[in-house]
Every structure is written in C-alpha cells, then in structure tokens.
C-alpha cells in the first residue's frame, strides 16, 4: 500500500489513523517527511493496533530537525514482522517548540502479507 502526499490543514499536532478491513502482517513501513520553508524540529510517533484493538504497540518515536537549505527531508524506513495488525496510527507534532507550523508527509508506504 502506498499513499500520496499529506499536509496538515491547520498548524499543530495531527493524528492519522489507518484501519484495515482484516488484520495484516506488517513487513515494512516507510515514511518520508519534508520541510522546505522553515527550520523546525518535528516528532513522529507510530503505533500499531493489534488483535482487533485489544493491544497497542509503539513502533517508532523519532525526532527530526529540518533545515530547508541543508536537511529538508527525513526518512523513516523500518522492516518488521508484526502479526495481527488491525490499524496504524501516526502522531505528528510538527514543531516541538510549539510554533504554528504544518506537518507534511511526502510519502507513506506499508508492505504487508
């Protein structure tokens, strides 16, 4: 599964929920974030919902510092074997210093069985 670009409609924290019709085995997750306008530090947390919502597991908690001139892109690319995944949740804090900026995801890819 591959998704196109996403951008927050409002500044501030956002949560993206992806629910599956039937549980999957997650093999890989790749997220590409980009910031070309303003230097900022973003926190991205990714959670998996397991066993039809009975359990939750934090998969990734990462902080990126974007510098438009020299480091405008951040890539999280993880390979796993996580069974019985019924949903994925991305929580994005676009600026941990509280400035009113918008988060942007250039690409989101999930590989599953």
Here the CATH number for the domain that contains residue 70 is 2.60.120.260
- Whether 9 has a pLDDT exceeding 90, the answer reads no
CB 40 within 8 A of CB 71: no
DSSP state of 71: B
- Whether 113 has a pLDDT exceeding 90, the answer reads no
Q: Domain of residue 108: give its range.
A: 2-112
pLDDT for the residue numbered 76: 92
Q: Which pLDDT band holds residue 106 (cuts at 50, 70, 90)? A: very high
pLDDT for the residue numbered 8: 85
Instruction: Render the burial of 64-87: b for 16+ CB within 10 Å, e for the rest.
Output: bebeeeeeeebebeeeeebeebbb
Structural domain count, the chain: 1
pLDDT for the residue numbered 51: 85
**Quick one: 7 exposed, middle or buried, by C-beta within 10 A (0-12, 13-18, 19+)?**
exposed
pLDDT digits (tens, 9 = 90+) for 22-59: 999 999 999 999 999 999 999 999 999 998 778 899 99
């Amino acid at each position: 599964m591959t998704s196109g670009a996403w951008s927050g409609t409002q500044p501030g924290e956002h949560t993206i929920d992806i629910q599956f019709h039937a549980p999957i085995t997650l093999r890989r997750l790749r997220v590409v974030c980009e910031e070309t306008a303003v230097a900022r530090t973003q926190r991205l947390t990714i959670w998996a919902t397991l066993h039809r919502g009975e359990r939750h597991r934090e998969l990734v908690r990462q902080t990126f510092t974007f510098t438009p001139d020299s480091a405008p892109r951040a890539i999280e690319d993880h390979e796993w074997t996580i069974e019985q995944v019924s949903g994925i949740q991305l929580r994005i804090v676009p600026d941990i210093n509280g400035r009113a900026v918008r988060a942007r995801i250039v690409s989101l890819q999930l590989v599953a069985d």
